[in-house]
Structure 1
């Protein structure tokens, strides 16, 4: 069980993220200041930056904290007998999808229509590439600097990002994984 201090920190962080999202969806990202977000969450600006040192963009993507661990686990914890790509396909397609609500659609529009958020999202997602590639290399017994495995990690992350923007994310991700498996299968054999 976490202590009182940790629970208070988590509640403050959540209040900031919720206030930011509410204001961004209501008025647009560029029309909202950090000061307004802090005031809406009833904290000071320094407190906001203590929780979100990367600035305003990071308030939108508060749920990314465990993403890298999930990516590595998708490689390491796949079902027996499944190749790395099959395990990744299984993991990405079985992940719970965000509720198909008007708020989720508004959130995705906010990211898509705000260049700084779209760019931040891409950078944030791709920053996991190194750990992801190392997990794949470790699993298949290859050098972590193997360019084929680094590229594979890059392309898998890109596939997930591209499929999120489509009208049929799951179907398009299936099609992309078919392409990756047929083109990259030999690179993953021991």
Structure 2
């Protein structure tokens, strides 16, 4: 495949995501149609679904691939003196409602996700969809078997934190409380 079609596809994808973000922030997620987004990006609805088969939610939150790569990289690329749970906590502290100093648009997007049931459910699905990958990385980094139920439980608990703690009045304090509990159950991770 030549560079031009790839660049054109990337530009179309970015135009759709930008249009969706702008329209969602202006009018609210539930009031914006895919037809309006496609029109704002000067493309067809069918093209929108080619680039974002997950629909409207994926336009704002992606498909989970970036999330999974970043999550596993946070564990694999941590400094040797940083515990796995600390690396995961630090990673989550930079995302969505936990980010202590988001730019104004990011703050509005986080608020939109939290206040919109469809977006919140999709975000949770994206996080929990990382369970197998996080379990594999935990096994790799701890020298345990990937079939160890304890590691799968830990991965699931970590991946539920954004949904549970992210909606609290003080998300960052809730994030810290969640990891305090996890460290009690997995002190060696």
Structure 2 length normalisation: TM-score?
Answer: 0.85
1:124 alignment partner, SS class: helix
Which residue matches 2:120?
118
Q: 1:149 aligns with which of 129, 143, 151?
A: 151
Q: How far is 1:38 from its partner?
A: 0.6
Q: In the TM superposition, what is the alpha-carbon distance from 1:62 to its structure 2 partner?
A: 2.8
Cα pair distance change 1:91/1:124, threshold 3 Å: closer
- SS of equivalent to 1:185: coil
Cα separation, partners in 2 of 1:123 and 1:47, compared to 1, 3 Å? same
**Cα offset, 1:148, TM superposition:** 0.9
Which 5+ residue runs of structure 2 have no aligned equivalent? Answer: none
In 1, the alpha carbon distance for the partners of 2:141 and 2:156 equals 17
Q: What corresponds to 2:24 in structure 1?
A: 24
How many residues align? The count is: 185
State the shift of 1:51 in Å: 0.5
1:58 Cα deviation (Å)?
A: 0.9
Ranges in structure 1 where 5+ consecutive residues have no aligned partner:
none
Say if 1:32 and 1:82 are closer, same or farther in 2 by CA, change over 3 A: closer
Change (3 A) 1:104 1:86: closer
Instruction: State the Cα deviation string for residues 121-141 of structure 1 (Å, max 9, x = none).
Output: 111111001100111012112
Contact 2:64–2:129 (Cα < 8 Å) also in 1: no
Q: TM-score of the superposition, structure 1-length normalised? A: 0.84
Distance 2:148 2:185 in 1: 16
Q: Identify the residue that residue 49 of structure 2 maps to in structure 1.
A: 49
Report the secondary structure of 2:187's partner residue. helix
Could you say if the C-alpha distance between residues 81 and 24 of structure 1 is closer, same or farther in structure 2, counting changes exceeding 3 Å? closer
Q: Distance in 2 between matches of 1:175 and 1:92?
A: 13
State the Cα distance separating 1:183 from its structure 2 match. Answer: 1.9
How many Å apart are 1:114 and its aligned residue?
Answer: 2.1
Whether the 8 Å CA contact 2:131–2:155 is kept in 1: the answer is yes
Q: Which moved more, 1:146-155 or 1:106-115?
A: 106-115
